[in-house]
Chain A
Amino acid sequence: MRAIVLVLVALFAVGCAGPTVTANQYRGKVAQTAKAMTGIIVTAQHAARLDLDGKMLPTVSDGVVTDAEQDADSVQTTMESRQPPDDRSDRLRRQVEQPLRQATSLLTDLRIALRNDDHDGERAAADALDGPLGAFEQLSGVS
Chain B
Amino acid sequence: MRGVELIGRAVVDPQGRSVGYVHDLVFRRTGENRCRFELIGLECGKAAIGDRLGYTRDAMRGPWPLTVLFRWLSRHSLFVEWSAVRRIGPEEIEIRTPMDELERFIDVAP
Q: Is any CB of A less than 8 Å from a CB of B in the complex?
A: no
